[in-house]
Structure 1
């Protein structure tokens, strides 16, 4: 009788196991994260090839993000192995929290802190005010401290179900702080850039491009974090939130590199405008210098923080 009940219980567990919502999100998240890491490698090469004169703090930040992402993708790969290979013949192993997953939480938090710290510095350079940058840094610190606490608990806990229940509030707090920090940084930076528009068409167009680029790179990270929170709170029984959380660090790293490398676009546009202005001023006649003076002023007029590509300006 006991053997019959045991066989029935085992059959029920196997029948109830749905790999499409357990294994599938983890595999898909790992694959997407690997692709994003490839993009990060390319963007890192482009950055060091074109901005070798950036301040050492910025170059160190990029190097730190890249090194952390190397460790992050290794942990994600180990988690993928545990999920898709080690637990292939025994779905009950999927309830065990791998050590690589715990390390992934740590690396994701560090990447987010580095990226948000740079964005806070950029907001200060653009706005020349301290309130919003300090507020965003406070939220960043809160998220980072909570992430460290979650990581410690993850190393101590072996059951994913127990981990999700016990760390429900800390995980929600950390992700919410990240979302609020990203929104403050993105929207505030876009607002201050928008207010620096001038009456010159070329300067206005460049600022509009920069505002759009800022919003695009900033809101993507916020969107991913919001999705992680939503699926974590609404569908803990699935691993959809795990798959989304897997790519969060790579999205943060790529947003930083995309913003830094985006200066190449504005540098090329400025050079092209100056070249066209020089050609328009070489047409001969008594007034041949006037078009050059006017167009060059239109090209470079505007906030130094927007157009300069020296050590600190972005």
Structure 2
């Protein structure tokens, strides 16, 4: 691959560009876009499962899921456009990597929108669970801080003329954005686990099983997003000169959206199906005549415990 544009002086390339390595510049973008496409497919399936199984949820919850899906459709288009710019239209000219493609700039915006929708939904659940305003308000404040910084980054990204200069000048801004998002995710996750554990000690044994499931499920959905943010921050701080952190950042919004849908659809495991008991009375014969055996089917519904109100969104339940 040629690393210079014929019309660009070699001295400019040497002074501006770090040593070009396709494995750390183009590779992360390609891999990140492919993983993002797979995660988006999972999100579409989860959205279908949600609307099929929970038609009676609050209208605001259903609208939030629709808004997240719309934001993610725009996000995957932006990521795909970035992939095309980096790997196809910019092929043979690494100078195109000096600035973010417009698709990558717009992807920052939709990442912020998705993050705001997801984190505000979890904050609402935390409020229902804690019955207190302090924990959800702290989480919302951190959420607003992270998304406000992300919007500022979007504006500056559209105006950038040099990626390396942008990363250097906005180092504190990007780090603060990722840190506030990480603290917000951990605050929401650990707070919900804390309040669930408090409820566990004051419930019946049948309900304890459900709460244990909810604790594990909350940790799984919350810590995955936090782990992605940790990886992004680590690669950004250690390797600003390549696109590894960019490839990871391309998946942050989709992981966030999937975590919320997995949390909503996880309520399916709390549903206990009806059990059918077949009761067959013994057959008897009298006067040489045999009576036909009849089967009686009784439906029995098991009740294994009470689900906390924070995990109920059905208008008929709450």
- Is 1:78 aligned with 2:81? yes
Instruction: Name the CA distance, whole Å, in 2 between partners of 1:75 and 1:43.
Output: 21
Instruction: Name the CA distance, whole Å, in 2 between partners of 1:199 and 1:215.
Output: 21
- Is 1:221 aligned with 2:225? yes
Instruction: Name the CA distance, whole Å, in 1 between partners of 2:18 and 2:127.
Output: 56
- Is 1:153 aligned with 2:156? yes
Structure 2 counterparts to residues 102-251 of structure 1, below 5 A: 102-197=105-200, 198=202, 200-251=204-255
Structure 2 unmatched ranges of 5 or more: 1-8, 282-299
Instruction: Name the CA distance, whole Å, in 2 between partners of 1:200 and 1:220.
Output: 30
8 Å Cα contact 1:150/1:171 also seen in 2: yes
Tell me how far 1:46 sits from its aligned partner: 0.7
Post-superposition Cα deviations, 1:38-59, rounded to whole Å, max 9, x if no partner, equal: 0000001111111111111101
SS at match of 1:262: helix
8 Å Cα contact 2:210/2:305 also seen in 1: no
Of 288, 301, 310, the residue aligned with 1:305 is 310
Alignment correspondent of 1:271: 273
Post-superposition Cα deviations, 1:83-105, rounded to whole Å, max 9, x if no partner, equal: 11122111121112211111000
Tell me how far 1:8 sits from its aligned partner: 9.3
Change (3 A) 1:309 1:61: closer
8 Å Cα contact 1:98/1:158 also seen in 2: no
Alignment correspondent of 1:101: 104
- TM-score, normalised with respect to structure 1: 0.85
Instruction: Name the CA distance, whole Å, in 2 between partners of 1:313 and 1:154.
Output: 46
161-170 vs 63-72, greater mean Cα deviation: 161-170
Tell me how far 1:224 sits from its aligned partner: 0.4
- TM-score, normalised with respect to structure 2: 0.84
- Is 1:92 aligned with 2:127? no
Post-superposition Cα deviations, 1:8-38, rounded to whole Å, max 9, x if no partner, equal: 9979999932100110111100000000000
Alignment correspondent of 2:256: 252
Instruction: Name the CA distance, whole Å, in 1 between partners of 2:72 and 2:196.
Output: 30
SS at match of 1:16: coil
Instruction: Name the CA distance, whole Å, in 2 between partners of 1:97 and 1:15.
Output: 16
Alignment correspondent of 1:19: 22
Instruction: Name the CA distance, whole Å, in 1 between partners of 2:153 and 2:11.
Output: 37
8 Å Cα contact 1:115/1:252 also seen in 2: yes
8 Å Cα contact 2:72/2:110 also seen in 1: yes
More helix per residue:
1
Post-superposition Cα deviations, 1:249-288, rounded to whole Å, max 9, x if no partner, equal: 0000000100000111111xx335xx38xx59x999xxxx
Instruction: Name the CA distance, whole Å, in 1 between partners of 2:194 and 2:18.
Output: 54
How many residue pairs end up in the alignment?
Answer: 291
8 Å Cα contact 2:197/2:215 also seen in 1: yes
Alignment correspondent of 1:3: none
Change (3 A) 1:305 1:96: closer
Q: Give the number of the structure whose alpha-carbon radius of gyration is greater.
A: 2
Instruction: Name the CA distance, whole Å, in 2 between partners of 1:164 and 1:130.
Output: 37
Post-superposition Cα deviations, 1:221-254, rounded to whole Å, max 9, x if no partner, equal: 0110111111111110111100000000000000
Tell me how far 1:303 sits from its aligned partner: 3.3
8 Å Cα contact 1:96/1:158 also seen in 2: yes
Post-superposition Cα deviations, 1:81-126, rounded to whole Å, max 9, x if no partner, equal: 1111122111121112211111000000110111000000000111
